[in-house]
């Protein structure tokens, strides 16, 4: 596709792409101070132009320890960088670390300083940046800053660095393709009228519930009322999520790792329970190895009129929105893409504390009193690698902002919950609405 014909991408995920220089954009010449020796790697200009045409801001983050060691003068680095721009086009920021290994600076990769400074120069945050590099130091710096890392291996890349990389691309063109694909899966949203009651389902473990949190918040931002169907393994995590009005707990035998026999009476009772909650539509979140179709059938029996889910299998009349995503998409992005396909894109507002698209003040539910208590302001969570095609069905660790609920008590079923079916629910005050 010609760069001039490529549609501009408005993404909730990324604003900028930051590249390592030597070994990533140009062939590595140790301590190079001669512009005539600069040779771009194959396909570099075309990949960069694709990203520029899509509206991404581009930057370079590079270690140049030759300055500290006396092998290079600062002017040498400047001339080489200028030659890189002549061959590959303009970059919006250049961040260079001139220090040596033993200088203890904050900027030399794997420290995050170069990425933090580049993000600030581009008017964004590290969490909205992608870092593309060829060695483990680049990926470690990305993780330390909270950015997304993509490794493009070269002959000098060690096997253990490839194995530890959050995402691997064969070349710069493949890296650009991944960035554009992931950005289009999670488009930026705009304000729209709220819908009625929406059921969201994530009936597996606590980690799976938490990584689905941003998508559930996107649904809550566009719905008047949100009912969440969760499993017993994920209930304690579900109780922490803002924007949920009611919880329904059910151990789904086609999802739970230790299923019990399923009785018709249990399904009938759950159909009645869901019908009583009154959802007009539902968004069913799953991992790549799970099927949403059995639950979609139960929801149809409960009278839910519109159902959205990811499904590679033919859904017949069970789904109104059949969403499909490629393999290798990290779980939070997979869920956000489904929410957007269902009509709940990420709203544009962000939390001023951490830059995340959810309320800056959360409220937590105390099951023993059925009351809301303020929770501390959110803090950015430690960065974790994104999912890859090598991921297993095991749930990934949470990748959302974290907080510590003040005064939490043990989570137990609400008083009066029925013994059969294995479901409990309790209406609770609305968590902090967002947007207000």
The residues annotated as belonging to the active site are 20, 22
Chain-centroid distance of CA 54 in Å reads 20
Give the whole-angstrom CA distance, residue 18 versus residue 149: 10
Q: Phi/psi at 103 (nearest 5 deg)?
A: -75, -20
DSSP state of 22: B
How far is Cα of residue 124 from the mean position of the Cα atoms in its chain? 17
Q: Can you tell me which residue has the tokens 């969201």? A: 200
Task: Return the bridge partners of 229, or none.
Answer: 201, 248
278/227 Cα distance (integer angstroms): 9
Q: How far apart are CA 211 and CA 188, in angstroms?
A: 19
User: Which of 127, 129, 128, 281 lies closest to 196 in space, CA to CA?
Assistant: 281
CA dist., res. 97 & res. 435, Å (int): 41
Q: For 274, what's the count of Cα atoms within 13 Å in the CB-facing half-sphere?
A: 29
Residue 199's nearest CA partner among 68, 130, 298 is: 298
For residues 25 and 21, what is the distance between their CA atoms, to the nearest angstrom? 5
Enter the tokens of residue 128.
Answer: 């909205």
List C-alpha distances in Å: 334 to 23, 97, 325: 31, 36, 7
Which token pair is 361?
A: 């003040």
The three-state secondary structure class of 341 is helix
Torsion angle (degrees, nearest 10) of CA 176, 182, 184, 186? -150
CA neighbor of 4 nearest in space, from 52, 48, 59, 70: 52
The C-alpha atoms of residue 98 and residue 104 are separated, in whole angstroms, by 12
List helix spans (H) across 278-358. Answer: 293-301, 331-341
């Amino acid at each position: 596709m010609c760069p001039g014909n490529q549609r501009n991408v408005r993404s909730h995920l990324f604003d900028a792409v930051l590249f390592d220089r030597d070994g990533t954009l140009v062939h590595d010449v140790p301590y190079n101070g001669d512009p005539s020796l600069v040779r771009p790697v194959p396909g570099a200009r075309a990949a960069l132009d694709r990203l520029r045409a899509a509206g991404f801001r581009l930057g370079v983050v590079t270690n140049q320890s030759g300055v500290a060691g006396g092998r290079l003068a600062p002017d040498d680095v400047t001339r080489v960088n200028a030659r890189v721009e002549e061959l590959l086009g303009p970059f919006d920021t250049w961040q260079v670390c001139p220090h040596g290994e033993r200088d203890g600076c904050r900027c030399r990769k794997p420290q995050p300083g170069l990425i933090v400074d580049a993000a600030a120069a581009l008017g964004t945050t590290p969490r909205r940046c992608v870092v593309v590099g060829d060695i483990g130091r680049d990926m470690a710096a990305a993780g330390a800053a909270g950015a997304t890392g993509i490794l493009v291996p070269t002959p000098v890349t060690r096997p253990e660095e490839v194995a530890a990389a959050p995402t691997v691309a064969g070349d710069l063109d493949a890296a650009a393709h991944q960035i554009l694909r992931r950005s289009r899966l999670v488009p930026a949203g705009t304000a729209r009228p709220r819908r009625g009651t929406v059921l969201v389902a994530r009936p597996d473990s606590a980690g799976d519930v938490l990584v689905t949190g941003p998508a559930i918040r996107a649904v809550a931002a566009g719905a008047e009322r949100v009912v969440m169907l969760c499993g017993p393994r994920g209930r304690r995590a579900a109780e922490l999520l803002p924007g949920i009005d009611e919880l329904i707990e059910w151990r789904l035998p086609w999802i739970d790792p230790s299923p019990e026999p399923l009785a018709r009476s249990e399904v009938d009772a759950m159909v009645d329970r869901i019908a009583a909650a009154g959802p007009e539509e539902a968004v069913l979140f799953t991992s790549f190895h799970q099927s949403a179709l059995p639950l979609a059938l139960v929801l149809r029996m409960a009278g839910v009129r519109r159902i959205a889910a990811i499904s590679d299998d033919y859904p017949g009349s069970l789904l109104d929105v059949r969403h499909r995503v490629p393999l290798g998409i990290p779980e939070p992005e997979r869920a956000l893409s489904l929410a957007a396909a269902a009509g709940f894109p990420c709203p544009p507002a962000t939390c001023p504390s951490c830059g995340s698209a959810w309320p800056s003040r959360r409220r937590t539910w105390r099951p023993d009193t059925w009351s809301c208590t303020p929770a501390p302001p959110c803090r950015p969570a430690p960065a974790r690698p994104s999912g890859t095609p090598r991921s297993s069905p095991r749930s990934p660790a949470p990748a959302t902002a974290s907080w510590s609920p003040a005064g939490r008590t043990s989570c137990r079923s609400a008083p009066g919950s029925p013994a059969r079916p294995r479901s409990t629910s309790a209406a609770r005050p609305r968590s902090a609405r967002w947007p207000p």
